[in-house]
Amino acid sequence: MIDADAIRPFLTQSLLARLPLLDERHETAVRLFNGFREGCPQLVVELFGATAVLTNHADPPEELSEVVTAVQQLLREQFPWLQAVLLKIRNGSDEEKRGVLLWGGPLTTKIREHGVRYALDLTLNQDASFYLDTRHVRRWALDNLAGQEVLNTFAYTGSLGVAAQAAGATRVLQTDLNKRFLNVAKTSYTLNGFAIDRQLFQAGDFWRHMSQLIRAGAQFDCVIVDPPFFAQTAAGTVDLNQGMARLVNKVRPLVRPNGHIIAINNALYVSGADYLAELETLCADGYVAIEQFIPVPEDCTGYRHTQITPPITDPAPFNHSTKIALLKISHKL
């Protein structure tokens, strides 16, 4: 277990590496410290606008209490414009998992990325309501989805669908099991001046919902599949440790010829080699092709000169345990 004095040089080096990513208006979102790779495996530090979010993964959490105090102090020294510090405790109560305000306030409620505004609810869930590791997916969406019809499954707070809408997609259907998460997506639409069609924000079980869309003959140019690593409902189970192929095959009928599936596997204990092998099995029938891997940003992975410890599971040929593949889909004539 690292102590409070020992973490300071690691954190300082990590903060310096991220300085070029910060903006003068303090509207950006950045991972400041990936402790899993940068010197303290029990701690992640992220910045959302003017709010720092510390996530304590220690078990028991008290083991990291002095470190958390030291990190809060260092952040306030380095970033005098900081307005709030929020602590999330993964092995705490439900309230502690969602977040406890350590200092300041109010919490940031919106950020800007690639010119697009995204709403936040930092205490909505144990995550911060916005995934930094899919930043390059949002960039790809902005560059490629103009004039396209898009289905965003497991949408959470809808950031990938918001990026598609900002790109000029003609239709974006956002689906998630939790209506409260989709309400954040609607707020993002409002921030950007996008019209809200409530029929395009649909809460429901993935398996039943996709079956309904298939029966209705729905077709999309791009389907995004970004599931939690484990989820279970009466209709079916998502378990990324057991494989992604079932999810991809479920949505394949919904993709137009030469359309795409963005398949994201964030299971920490699934190696990159295993995920690639699974994707290659999907490609064996000749109707799925791996077009490219979309990397996770360096602030999320840690930089070459800031990484100290090896990953728990080797993500290669991907660069992070969030393994993102762009698949091109064709169909039998």
pLDDT greater than 70 at residue 1: no
> How do residues 281-296 score in pLDDT, each as one tens digit?
999 999 999 999 999 9
pLDDT higher than threshold 80 for residue 117:
yes
Beta strand pairing call for 84-89 and 43-48:
unpaired
Q: Looking at 168-257, list the stretches that DSSP marks H as alpha helix, in order from N- to C-terminal side.
A: 179-192, 206-215, 245-251
Residue 257 has what pLDDT? 96
The residue among 96, 104, 11, 89 whose CA lies nearest residue 54 is 89
pTM (two decimals): 0.96
Write the pLDDT tens digit of every residue in 121-159: 999 999 999 999 999 999 999 999 999 999 999 999 999
Per-residue pLDDT at 324 exceeds 90: yes
Peptide bond into 295 cis (omega under 30): no
Q: What is the residue-averaged pLDDT of the chain?
A: 95
Residue boundaries of the structural domains of the chain? 4-106, 127-329
How many angstroms from the chain centroid is the CA of residue 63? 27
Q: What is the pLDDT of residues 259-313, one digit of tens each?
A: 999 999 999 999 999 999 999 999 999 999 999 999 999 999 999 999 999 999 9
Pick from 8-22, 226-240, 303-317: least confident: 226-240
Burial of 234 (0-12, 13-18, 19+ CB in 10 A): exposed
Q: What percent of the chain has pLDDT over 70?
A: 99
Provide DSSP, 8-31: HHHHHHHHHHHGGG--TT---EEE
In the prediction, which pLDDT does 332 show?
80
CA angle 17, 63, 129 (to 5 degrees): 55
* 3-state secondary structure at position 317: coil
Task: Give the model's confidence band at 229: pLDDT under 50 very low, under 70 low, under 90 confident, else very high.
Answer: confident
Over residues 88-107, the pLDDT tens digits come to 999 999 999 999 999 999 99
Average confidence (pLDDT) over 194-203: 97
Q: What is the mean pLDDT of residues 160-171?
A: 98
CA 140 – CA 15 distance, rounded (Å): 27
Give me 133's structure tokens: 């590791």
CA dihedral 139, 191, 181, 94 (to 10 degrees): 100
Do 173 and 200 meet the contact criterion of CB atoms below 8 Å apart?
yes
| 43-84 pLDDT tens trace | 999 999 999 999 999 999 999 999 999 999 999 999 999 999
Quickly count: other Cβ atoms within 10 Å of residue 276's Cβ. Answer: 17
Q: Which CATH superfamily, name and number, covers 4-106?
A: RNA methyltransferase domain (HRMD) like (3.30.750.80)
Tell me if 45 sits within 8 A of 88, measured CB to CB: no
Q: 3: pLDDT confidence band, cut at 50, 70 and 90?
A: confident
Task: Please give the CATH topology (third level) of the domain spanning 127-329.
Answer: Rossmann fold (3.40.50)
Quote the CA–CA distance of 227 and 207 in Å, as a whole number.
12
Quick check: 236 pLDDT over 90?
no
